[in-house]
């Protein structure tokens, strides 16, 4: 039973300490998210975020820090953008592709470059956000050049601080650090959302709330299904005689997940789809009429729910395939199987095995990508019927929350299993 599993986790000292350490880092993050930068008109800032769906989703990605314009207002969005850039470059530049295949040492170099790129990206995105908020809602009471530089340096340092916290959390192997930071930011907003819903509740909203509950249940069930679903590819190991002992001769399987990418495609898709309208709003006050007209057109296009939904679906679908390509390497798996004397029945070792794994994965991921994309846009469909913007944000939040919870529990389960083997 579940309480027995909790007791078992608590009895293992190093695992217990890891979980307590992760919890402490998340508390530190929430404290930082409530330290506002001085000189902010809090009321104007709150009204702006409540009336703007685009920035509501951006606030969700920042873990709620943007709504308070805290020292971590930019959240981990610059790091996510830098990760997307380097993963795209890895697919394009051969030297980076070779570096990524060098194992842990190569991946550490790429991660280091990703963190370095996140710093100028955080500074640029911080400046764009400050200028946009100042022009759209007059949020800042004083924005002299010295103060502008101070705020940019502060929010950039906040992003670096969150990257460091995320790395510390990931090192404990209790979930992905960046995903957990976003997860905690979403979960801590639930009491506020419930309070606002109860204060403004009337009988006309019963249908809307009912639809929200339905989409919540469908989302949770759907994410669990695609996350837990897998295809077991049979693998056999040939018998080998060494001295007086015989090794191998066993039949096992290679599990291929329906959704290997987890929650990453959702986070990537949101980051990309928010970028054009955010930049366009920055050019609304330009002196050149061409730029103003272009910015208005971009904003109008992305406010069209049909276009927004189609783009969101395609990005989730595409990033599911893309990220699976990054983390799943059929050639390496085929090579390792061949070295260990393993083979897939009916498939020749080497290149044919790699092609078989690749084709099988593509068919499996097709179902996972379609399902994940449909779940992502389902709240948008309901919003079109109800007009409730909260459904859109709520559906996206549920996708992230459920996926992160499953991923975290799986890592804890693997830690328990590893210790069971060590005991044996």
Of 262, 275, 345, whose CA–CA distance to 311 is shortest? 275
pLDDT, tens digit, 9 for 90 and up, residues 189-226 = 777 766 766 666 666 667 767 777 777 787 778 778 87
- pLDDT of 72: 86
Instruction: Assess whether pLDDT exceeds 80 at residue 62.
Output: no
Task: Collect all residues with Cβ–Cβ distance below 8 Å to 305 and sequence separation of at least 6.
Answer: 380, 383, 384
Higher pLDDT, 225 or 384: 225
Query: Using an 8 Å Cβ cutoff, are 377 and 400 in contact?
Result: no
- How many secondary structure helices (H) and strands (E) does the chain include? 18, 5
Question: How large is the C-alpha radius of gyration of the chain?
Answer: 24
pLDDT, tens digit, 9 for 90 and up, residues 138-167 = 777 777 888 888 888 998 999 999 999 988
Residue spans in the chain of domains classed CATH 1.10.3370.10 = 15-201, 204-424
Q: Which CATH superfamily does the domain covering 204-424 fall into?
A: SecY subunit domain (1.10.3370.10)
pLDDT, tens digit, 9 for 90 and up, residues 231-273 = 888 888 766 555 556 555 677 788 888 888 777 787 778 778 8
Residues 73, 65: Cα–Cα separation, whole Å: 4
Task: Collect all residues with Cβ–Cβ distance below 8 Å to 345 and sequence separation of at least 6.
Answer: 234, 236
15-201 has CATH 1.10.40.50 classification: no
Q: Which residues pair with 99 in a beta bridge?
A: none
- pLDDT of 45: 74
Q: Is 70 in a helix, a strand, or coil? A: strand
C-alpha dist (Å) from residue 303 to 81, 271, 292, 308, 389: 22, 16, 16, 7, 12
How far is CA 219 from its chain centroid?
16
């Amino acid at each position: 039973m579940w309480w027995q599993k909790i007791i078992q986790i608590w009895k293992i000292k190093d695992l217990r300490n890891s979980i307590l350490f992760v919890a402490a880092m998340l508390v530190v993050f929430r404290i930082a998210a409530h330290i506002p930068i001085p000189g902010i008109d809090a009321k104007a800032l709150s009204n702006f975020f409540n009336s703007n769906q685009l920035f509501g989703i951006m606030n969700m990605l920042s873990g709620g820090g943007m709504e308070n314009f805290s020292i971590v207002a930019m959240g981990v969005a610059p790091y996510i953008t830098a990760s997307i850039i380097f993963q795209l470059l890895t697919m394009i530049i051969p030297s980076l592709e070779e570096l990524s295949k060098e194992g842990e040492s190569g991946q550490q170099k790429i991660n280091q470059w990703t963190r370095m790129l996140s710093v100028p990206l955080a500074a640029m995105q911080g400046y764009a956000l400050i200028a946009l908020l100042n022009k759209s809602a007059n949020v800042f009471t004083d924005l002299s050049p010295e103060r502008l530089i101070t705020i940019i340096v502060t929010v950039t340092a906040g992003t670096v601080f969150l990257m460091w916290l995320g790395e510390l959390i990931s090192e404990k192997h209790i979930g992905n650090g960046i995903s957990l930071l976003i997860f905690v930011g979403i979960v801590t907003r639930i009491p506020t959302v419930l309070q606002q819903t109860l204060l403004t509740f009337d009988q006309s909203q019963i249908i809307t709330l009912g639809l929200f509950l339905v989409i919540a249940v469908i989302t949770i069930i759907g994410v669990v299904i695609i996350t837990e679903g897998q295809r077991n590819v049979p693998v056999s190991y040939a018998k080998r005689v060494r001295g007086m002992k015989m090794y191998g001769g066993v039949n096992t399987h290679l599990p291929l997940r329906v959704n290997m990418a987890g929650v990453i495609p959702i986070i990537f898709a949101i980051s990309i789809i928010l970028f054009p309208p955010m930049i366009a709003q920055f050019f609304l006050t330009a002196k050149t009429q061409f730029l103003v007209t272009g910015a208005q057109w971009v904003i109008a296009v992305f406010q069209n729910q049909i276009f927004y939904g189609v783009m969101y679906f395609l990005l989730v679908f595409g990033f599911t395939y893309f990220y699976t390509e990054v983390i799943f390497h059929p050639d390496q798996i085929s090579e390792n199987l061949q070295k260990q004397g393993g083979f897939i029945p009916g498939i020749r070792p080497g290149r044919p095995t790699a092609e078989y794994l690749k084709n099988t994965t593509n068919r499996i991921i097709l179902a996972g990508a379609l399902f994940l994309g449909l779940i992502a846009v389902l709240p948008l469909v309901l919003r079109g019927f109800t007009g409730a913007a909260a459904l859109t944000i709520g559906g996206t939040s549920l996708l992230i929350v459920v996926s992160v919870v499953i991923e975290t529990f799986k890592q804890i389960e693997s830690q328990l299993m590893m210790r069971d083997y060590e005991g044996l």
